[in-house]
Amino acid sequence: MLCLLFPQQPMLNTLGDAFRAGGLLMWPILGCSIVVLGLAIERYLSLRRGRVLPRVVVDAVEQVTQGHAGIVADGIAAAPAPAARVLTAGLRRRGHLLADIEKAMEDQLAEESARLRGNVRGIVLMASVAPLLGLLGTVLGIADAFAAVEQTGLGKAESSEALAAGIKVALYTTIFGLFVAIPATLVAAHLQARARRLAGAVRAAVAPAIEALAMPSVAMAQTAAGDSHAA
C-alpha cells in the first residue's frame, strides 16, 4: 500500500516525510501505537499457560482429589497464579456444600478472567482512538487547504494544485491512524480469544477438586442421617 501511495521513493524516507507533513496530530497517533505495542507485549507475557495454570496447581488438584487438601492449602494460597487463586477459593470452603464451593470457585474464575482481559481493553481503546485522531487531522488539514485557496482564489491552476496537495497531506493522518487501528484490532481479538481459552483450561483443571472438597460434608451428612435412623 505504501508503494502505491509513495511510488519510486525509499520507504523510510517516505514514511518520515509523510509523518512530518501530517502535522501535530501524528504524534498522538504515534503515542497510540506505542501504547498498543507495550500493552500487547505485557499481555503476551502474562497470557502464557505456564503462568496462568502452572504445574504446581495441577499437582495440587491431584492431591485434593486424593484427600490431601490440608497439605496443599497453604502452598497454593501463596502461589501468584490465577489458577491457584481459583483453587484457593474452593479450599477456603472445603467441607461446605458442593454448590457453595462451586460458586466460590466460579466467582473467583470470573474475576481472574476479567484480569486476564484487563489490558486488552486498552488496546481496543487505542484501536478506536487512533483512526479518530487521523480523521480529525484530515478534517483540520482540509479546512486549512480550503482556507489557503480561499485567499488566492480557486480559478487559478496554482490554487487547484495547492488544494490537491493540501488534501493529500491532510489524508496522511487518516492513513497512519488506520495503520495503527487495524493491527491493534487484530491483536486485541487474538488476545481476547487467548484469555478465554486459558480461562477454560483453568476451569477444566480445577473442576475435579470441587467434589473432592465437598466430600467431607457429604460424609458428615450421611453419618448424621445414619445416626438419626438408628435413633
DSSP string computed for 2-42? HHHHSTTS-HHHHHHHHHHHH-TTHHHHHHHHHHHHHHHHH
The domain containing residue 59 runs over which residues?
Answer: 10-220
Lowest mean pLDDT among 14-28, 39-53, 88-102, 210-224: 210-224
Percentages of the chain per state (helix, strand, coil), in multiples of 5 = 85, 0, 15
- Counting DSSP H helices and E strands in the chain, the numbers are 10, 0
227 pLDDT higher than 50:
no
Residue 228 lies in a domain: no
Residue 227 lies in a domain: no
Higher-confidence position of 118 and 113: 113
Residue 79 lies in a domain: yes
Smallest CA-to-CA distance from 50 within 17, 83, 87, 95 is with 83
pLDDT, tens digit (0-9, with 9 covering 90-100), for 22-52: 888 899 999 999 999 999 999 999 999 999 9
- Return d(Cα 54, Cα 202) in angstroms, integer: 10
Per-residue confidence (pLDDT) for residue 58, from 0 to 100: 93
What is the tally of structural domains in the chain?
Answer: 1
6 pLDDT higher than 90:
no
Residue 3 lies in a domain: no
DSSP symbols for 172-226: HHHHHHHHHHHHHHHHHHHHHHHHHHHHHHHHHHHHHHHHHHHHHHHHHHHHHHH
Higher-confidence position of 19 and 184: 184
151 pLDDT higher than 90:
no
Read off the pLDDT of each residue in 83-107 and give the average, rounded to a whole number.
93
Q: What is the H or E stretch that residue 53 is in? A: none
